[in-house]
Chains A and B, each alone.
Chain A
Amino acid sequence: AQTVTQSQPEMSVQEAETVTLSCTYDTSENNYYLFWYKQPPSRQMILVIRQEAYKQQNATENRFSVNFQKAAKSFSLKISDSQLGDTAMYFCAFMSRIQGAQKLVFGQGTRLTINP
């Protein structure tokens, strides 16, 4: 079974700084998907960024980018020029490509606080 580990329970940075959230995962599959989801306080979960394992190029979405190291099974999220609205729980998640097993497997989360 796949597992996802986020080793940083909490992080705190000043507004406009860059922050990197760590994620490692374990799988025996070669092709799969990785995601970062954001859950703001008392609000619903939304997708931040998505990476397909067979693509070597790291995904980017505006201020958000990932460092995907397939051999190391590492998938970190970098937030540049952080904003107060980035304060949230961040979850790393894995999804298999196997039909019938395409659910999200989440890590424990990292609580990120952006300070003014």
Chain B
Amino acid sequence: DTGVSQDPRHKITKRGQNVTFRCDPISEHNRLYWYRQTLGQGPEFLTYFQNEAQLEKSRLLSDRFSAERPKGSFSTLEIQRTEQGDSAMYLCASSLYQGTGGETQYFGPGTRLLVL
């Protein structure tokens, strides 16, 4: 089953360090989304791509966050100078956009980040 995969699944880092997460979407999906979920809350949108173009970024995505999707395949999310408030589950989702919207997003297992 080639669903959405994320790597690593868990990351513990010290405050001030940089971390990078990777997401591999379902192969034919052209859209890729990043969300952040803190304990007991619903996911919050961070950014999304259509192919390699980044179409929208949330105000939650401070200057310390950057996301890329080179060649429209996998995506990386980097957090620079991590802070304790960055501790959360980072979820990736992908979908097949066919022009009308409302397509189902398929989620990966997430990367749980703990900043000490």
Chain B contacts for A56, CB-based, 8 A: none
Q: Are B104 and A50 in contact (CB under 8 A)?
A: yes
Residues 16 to 61 of chain A near chain B (Cβ within 8 Å): 33, 37, 43-47, 50, 52
Q: How large is the interface on B (under 10, 10 to 19, 20 to 34, 35 or more residues)?
A: 20 to 34
Q: Are B102 and A46 in contact (CB under 8 A)?
A: no
Chain A contacts for B108, CB-based, 8 A: 44
Choice from B43, B100, B102, B110 contacting A106 with Cβ under 8 Å = B43
Beta-carbon nearest neighbor of A32 in chain B? B102
Please count the residue pairs between chain A and chain B whose beta carbons lie under 8 angstroms apart in the complex.
58
Beta-carbon nearest neighbor of A101 in chain B? B56
Chain B contacts for A33, CB-based, 8 A: 101-102
**B40 within 8 A of partner (CB):** yes
Residues 78 to 105 of chain B near chain A (Cβ within 8 Å): 91, 93, 97, 100-102, 104-105
The smallest beta-carbon distance between A35 and chain B, in angstroms, is 8
Chain A contacts for B43, CB-based, 8 A: 45, 91, 104, 106
For the complex with contacts A45-B93, A103-B33, 15 further pairs of A-B residues with Cβ separation under 8 Å are A33-B102, A44-B107, A50-B104, A91-B43, A93-B42, A95-B102, A97-B100, A97-B102, A100-B55, A102-B97, A102-B102, A104-B35, A108-B41, A108-B42, A109-B42
A interface residues (Cβ-Cβ under 8 A, vs B): 4, 33, 37, 43-47, 50, 52, 91, 93, 95-97, 99-109
